[in-house]
Structure 1
Amino acid sequence: MSYLCPLCHAPLAPQERSFVCPQGHQFDKAKEGYVNLLPVQHKRSKDPGDSSEMMVARRAFLDAGHYQPLRDAICQILEQAAPSSLLDIGCGEGYYTAGFAQIIAQQEGTTWGLDVAKVAIRYAAKRYSQVQFCVASSHRLPFNDQSLDAVVRIFAPCKAQELARVVKPGGIVITATPGPRHLMQLKGLIYDNVVLHSAESESLAGFIAEQTQQISWPMTLRGNEAVALLQMTPFAWRARPEVWQALTAETAFHCETDFIVRVWRRETSA
């Protein structure tokens, strides 16, 4: 399986250092091994997605193992499903993707990681050579119809129609979203009135909801870890200087995690 051209949607043929479609559109591989399939006309800004600062913070926080229970829970689902091809949408710097790739390797399959942020994909491809990474829009997935056994989507947007298009009949989509009390204590430092996340399930047309589990655990973070957590979340944009200062001085910041993991099964044709 290869990519689709983001301009004409024809298959891209891999060459030594590039991908080329029959129409002559060419996309070169970066030195880190990834390919950029996000044409300028599909961008909403000059550098879409997370910043380099957010990537550095996320890598430090995730490398410390604070979200490992979430990765382990999804890996357990994948162990049971045993897919041979997987796409991680919104893969960021690749922490989760690398864990999933270990499962897919057991089936001698391929793991793909996709993110709109070029800086994130550069970080990911430089560390995790066992994964095929690309810069692309999650709303225009550069993959053939019914070509993937599994898709994982952690906090990442993607149109249900696109998921239904690329996932094989009987294949799965795994989503992870914030549970009601996710990062309550961090939000309490920023907002006067903390609103719980909605626990209502989204609807994915073409899929059947098969499994739901809520995963939560407490974290105790040092100052630099608490700052990294804030830096990697959207809350960073609203945090006042005194919030950053208070977190930096923390020796034991207590914060809850709360995730809802769902498994969706692609409907099979009658």
Structure 2
Amino acid sequence: MPFSCPLCHAPLNRRENAFVCPQRHQFDIAKEGYVNLLPVQHKRSRDPGDSAEMMQARRAFLDAGHYQPLRDAISALLQARLPEQADAVLDIGCGEGYYTQAFAAIAEQHGACTFGLDVSKAAIRAAAKRYSQVMFCVASSHRLPFEDNSIDALVRIYAPCKAEELARVVKPGGVVITAAPGPRHLMELKGLIYDEVQLHAESAGEIAGFTVIGQQSLAYDMTLTGQQAVALLQMTPFAWRAKAEVWETLAATEDFRCQTDFSIHCLQRDN
């Protein structure tokens, strides 16, 4: 296991139902199979990340297949770029594991273990209960609890992360695959919330210490039920800006048409 101690940064070794470092810092493995590597002093709030309600809404939306084209596109990139013999694949900001379990099937073909990381304990608990083939951990994407040069491929879908942390944990020659909103992503949904809808800024996908080796755009239309549209809104960062009448309008809608627009980049760690 490439885990490192979040307190002293020494390697963590598994001992029965816990991970322990040489300094005897111990992190127990929960009954669901995940490990909490987020010390209380690294938390910005009492219960950071998505709530159980937000996680359940996202799981229902994703299970319906609305973002499967995105999962398929990233999976194809991972399959093409992962070395024939690999050690570890990491999905940061993995949420309830919808994408991670697809990446795990690819990693297994290459002899690699798959790790999922999220700051939300509710999301990680749900992910670990459903996808036992993945080692999930509660941790901050800004303080990755992994050893230097230990990850062959890292996937980052929307999740923030410091460039120096990515460069630290990804092996030289390893890859990072990112997905971010394209300019017209969810325009119709935003139109219900904002008086003036701004396009997302175009992203060059550049990360210090990495070279962009591939870029693609993915856009398609969705037709959602009112319940699915409400779940989608719950997944977005602008849900907090939506007034009560927006939620009511969406819930009462029979068919809500909305466009997606994703920007996907593949980068390689510089040697």
TM (normalized to structure 1)?
Answer: 0.98
Residue in 1 that maps onto 2:96: 93
Q: Is the 8 A contact 2:205 2:265 kept in 1?
A: no
More off after superposition, 171-180 vs 194-203: 194-203
The aligned residue for residue 179 of structure 2 is 176
Q: Tell me the residue number matched to 1:126.
A: 129
Are residue 239 (structure 1) and residue 248 (structure 2) matched?
Answer: no
Q: Partners in 2 of 1:13 and 1:108 — Cα distance?
A: 20
Give the distance between the partners of 1:103 and 1:258, measured in 2 at CA: 25
AA aligned opposite 2:195 = D
The 2-side partners of 1:51 and 1:231 are apart by 11
Alignment of 1:55-66 (within 5 A): 55-66=55-66
CA drift at 1:247? 0.5
Q: 1:165 aligns with which of 146, 158, 168?
A: 168
Residues 85-135 of structure 1: per-residue CA shift (max 9 Å, x gap): 210000000000011111111112101000011111001001000001000
Alignment of 1:102-117 (within 5 A): 102-117=105-120
Runs (4+) of structure 1 moved beyond 3 Å? Answer: none
Aligned to 2:195: 192
Q: CA RMSD in A?
A: 0.8
1:11-50 correspondence to structure 2 within 5 Å: 11-50=11-50
Distance 2:179 2:211 in 1: 16
Residue identity matched to 1:78: L
| Structure 2: distance between partners of 1:206 and 1:235 | 31
Structure 2-normalised TM-score?
Answer: 0.97
One-letter code aligned to 2:41? Q
Q: Provide the rounded CA distance (Å) in 1 between the counterparts of 2:199 and 2:270.
A: 32
Q: How far is 1:202 from its partner?
A: 4.3
Q: Paired residue for 1:75? A: 75
Runs of 5+ consecutive residues of structure 2 not aligned to the other structure:
none
Q: Indicate the percent of aligned positions where both proteins have the same amino acid.
A: 68
1:2, 1:88 → 2: CA distance?
Answer: 14
1:149 partner letter: D
Give the number of aligned pairs: 268
* 1:216 and 1:257 in contact (8 A); partners too: yes
1:255-270 alignment runs, 5 A limit: 255-268=258-271
- Does the 8 A contact of 2:218 with 2:262 survive in 1? yes
Structure 1 unmatched runs, 5+: none
SS of the equivalent of 1:171 reads strand
Query: Per-residue displacement from partner, 1:189-216 (whole Å, max 9, x unpaired)?
Result: 0000000000132431110011110001
Q: Are the aligned partners of 2:82 and 2:153 in contact in 1 as well (CA < 8 Å)?
A: no
Q: Give yes or no for contact 1:2–1:14 (8 Å, CA) kept in 2.
A: no
C-alpha separation between the residues in 1 aligned to 2:212 and 2:243? 40
CA distance in 1 between counterparts of 2:152 and 2:205 reads 21
Which residue pairs with 1:5 in the alignment? 5
1:82 Cα shift?
A: 2.7
Distance in 1 (alpha carbons) for counterparts of 2:105 and 2:21: 31
Please state whether the residue corresponding to 1:187 is helix, strand or coil. Answer: helix
Counterpart of 1:260 in structure 2: which amino acid?
Answer: S
CA distance in 2, matches of 1:217, 1:97: 22
Q: Secondary structure of the residue that 1:49 maps to in structure 2?
A: coil
